[in-house]
Amino acid sequence: MNNSNLKPLPLGTSDFAALRSEGQIYVDKTSLIYEIASKRQKFFLSRPRRFGKSLLISTFESLFKYGLRDFKGLAIEKLWRDTGTYQVVRLDFSEIKDFSSAEEFSVRLTSVLSRGFSGCGFTYRESPIETVSDQISDWLKTIPLNSLVLLIDEYDAPLTACLSKPQLFEDIRKKLSDFYATIKSNDGAVRFFFMTGITKFSKTSIFSELNHFTDLSLMAEFGSLLGYTHAGVEQYFSGYLDRAAEILNMDRGDLLSELTRHYDGFCFEKTAKQHLFSPWSLLKFLNYPSNGFENYWYESGGKPTALLQYFQSHSLKSPLDFDKEKLLDMDDLTASSDVDEISDVALLTQAGYLTIKNVEEDTAFVGYPNLEVKKSMARLYMKLLLKGQTQVQAGAGGALKILTEGSAQELYHRLNRLFLSLDYQSYPAKDEYAVRGIVQIYVTCTGLSAKVENHNALGRSDLEVRAGNNYWVFEFKYCREGENSEQLLQEAVEQIQNRHYGEQVSTEKLIKVALVFSEKERQFIRWKSLD
């Protein structure tokens, strides 16, 4: 097909004016932007990394600075009636996420604030008495009412950076609160205030300093403000979908199904009805579809060091929790949360590792949005399980090739190399369920979707996974000291045979494997393939 007819993808573009001037594809969200910008209010929006928060901030900046200059042909052109232009201060707090002390943070915060406000006529003066917030407060009192627009991106980056350091967190909180108190005391000057972040540390007094803050994060009306809907993907990227289908020799419908499985499934609103594609992952795929359905989430912010450290001491304690259904009180996402009290599941949901699947009354059922994120979470688990080693370093690499080629014997040896490399003190394989959980994580790291306790009419298998033309069924037994491993192996074999595990699946090759794990030797000691 002729690629010259395709408008450029907005990949990596977070500047709205630049995107429009280059004729890049813009999925029109301006009717929702109008609903927000037309109000004199303070707004907050929480979304995961790489979801377009910076582009949204830039869109507000263009609208308030230049009116409709960059909005020709978009929905807001017929809606916006504000003919004024405003002084716009845009701050990106991700610029100050690397610091080792409160003093260093203070210096960097002063720099960001002084530079951000300088474009509107503010001049910072070195002073032993007056802080930068004090001076901004004095300056705000001199400007006309409703003349300033304040936009803050990634407000929580400095706080997230010190999640595991309570005293430093508290010091940073106080310094940020001073700034927000300044804005609160000079409310008359501010026409519009919009702030984004990933997490919501409400009880840090940051939000309390900004009274009457409207949190859009879980409102159904703004559930699709960021991210791409199915309809949006088919409308704006139709030519790219056709190109990808041609390159991969796939039916367009099958292509959309695979894209949905890998990159769709995010939900950011209380009704749990709106599902969205990750814009970054989808655009990366459409840019070079010949690379296949790669994992873009993990490499583009899905492995945050600070969150990993936090999860290591909180959520990622047991492999058994990897694929468990998780419940979350909606208040944990919408109401105040202190850093010491924030729910692990809430933090994972805000970071995009989990998403809302269903809501019943005040309870949200959350899970992985898609295969890409599930694989990313598996990689986080595996990093901890192997004490920072990769699977290759542990001698357990090449699992995808082994599963695809159908070598049960080679898989048996790779699994044993994996288990012998585990951080056994922190993550002991103490029973059959732990063994199964670790194997599931190992398989998921390859990008395959492993099913646990898959039911048929006669029972439920331990683990099933499709790899190319192969469909694997695993039955695990755990051999404690004094038990007969050969007898346990035979029990596993009979269970697979008598309950016809995997036979309900249409596949070219069904591979059934029985495995016995030894508590004493910390590895598999018996196996048998029934393929």
Residues 191, 44 share a domain: yes
Q: Residue 24 is encoded by which pair of tokens?
A: 């890049």
Q: Is residue 378 part of a domain?
A: no
- Contact assessment for residue 418 and residue 387, using Cβ atoms and an 8 Å cutoff: no
- Return the CATH number at 206: 3.40.50
Residue 356 domain-assigned? yes
* pLDDT score at 98: 86
Name residue 428's amino acid.
Answer: P
Task: Say if 376 falls within a structural domain.
Answer: no
| Residues 343/327, Cβ–Cβ less than 8 Å | no
Question: Do residue 203 and residue 254 come from a single domain?
Answer: no
Sign, Cα dihedral of 196, 197, 202, 207: negative
Residue 285's pLDDT is 97
Q: How many domains does the chain have?
A: 4
Co-location of 60 and 209 in the same domain: yes
For residue 87, the number of C-alpha atoms closer than 13 Å in the C-beta half-sphere is: 16
Q: Range of 257's domain?
A: 230-289
Place of tokens 């542990």: 394
- Give residue 507's pLDDT: 73
Q: Give the domain CATH number at 403.
A: 3.40.1350
Whether residue 196 lies inside any domain: the answer is yes
Which pLDDT score, from 0 to 100, does residue 340 have?
Answer: 61
pLDDT given for residue 350 in this prediction: 85
Name the pTM for this structure. Answer: 0.89
- My answer on whether 118 and 194 are in the same domain is yes
The pLDDT, as a whole number, for residue 317 is 57
Last residue of a domain, one of 179, 206, 222: 222
Does 353 reside within a domain? Answer: yes
Clarify whether residues 179 and 243 are in a common domain. no
Together in a domain, 246 and 209: no
For the stretch 139-170, what's the b/e string if a residue is b when 16 or more beta carbons lie within 10 angstroms of its beta carbon?
bbeebeeebbbbbbbbbbbbbbbbbbeeebbe
Among 222, 257, 275, the domain-final residue is: 222
Q: Among 206, 222, 238, identify where a domain stops.
A: 222
For residues 226-259, b (16+ Cβ closer than 10 Å) or e, as one string? bbbbeebbeebbebbbebbbeeeeeeeeebbebb
Closest listed residue to residue 404, CA positions, set 509, 498, 275:
509
How many CB atoms neighbour CB 101 within 10 A? 10
- Hey, what long-range contacts does 396-399 have (CB within 8 A, 24 or more apart)? 396/421, 396/442, 399/442, 399/443, 399/445, 399/446
User: pLDDT tens, position by position, for the chain (531 residues)?
Assistant: 556 689 999 998 999 999 999 999 999 999 999 999 999 999 999 999 889 999 999 999 999 999 999 999 999 999 999 998 899 999 999 999 889 999 999 999 999 999 999 999 999 999 989 999 999 999 999 999 999 999 999 998 998 888 778 899 889 988 998 999 999 999 999 999 999 998 876 555 566 665 578 999 999 999 999 999 999 999 999 999 999 999 999 999 999 999 999 999 999 998 999 999 999 999 999 999 999 999 998 776 555 555 555 555 555 556 667 887 788 888 777 654 556 666 778 888 888 889 999 999 889 999 999 999 999 888 888 888 888 888 888 888 889 999 999 889 999 999 999 999 998 888 888 999 899 999 999 999 988 888 887 666 577 888 999 998 999 999 999 999 999 999 999 999 999 998 888 887 777 789 999 999 999 999 999 999 986
C-alpha span between 482 and 530 (Å, rounded): 27
Is 431 in the same domain as 404? yes
Q: Give the per-residue pLDDT at 320.
A: 67
SS3 state of residue 344: helix
Residue 382 located in a structural domain: no
338, 457: one domain? no
Same domain, 53 and 157: yes
pLDDT at residue 163, as a whole number: 78
Residues 277 and 182 in one domain: no
Residues 269 and 323 grouped into a single domain: no
Tell me, what's the pLDDT at 478? 97
For residues 85 and 211, state if they share a domain: yes
- What pLDDT does residue 234 have? 97
Cβ atoms within 10 Å, residue 496? 23
Q: Give the pLDDT confidence score for residue 438 in this predicted structure.
A: 92
Residue 294 falls inside a structural domain: no
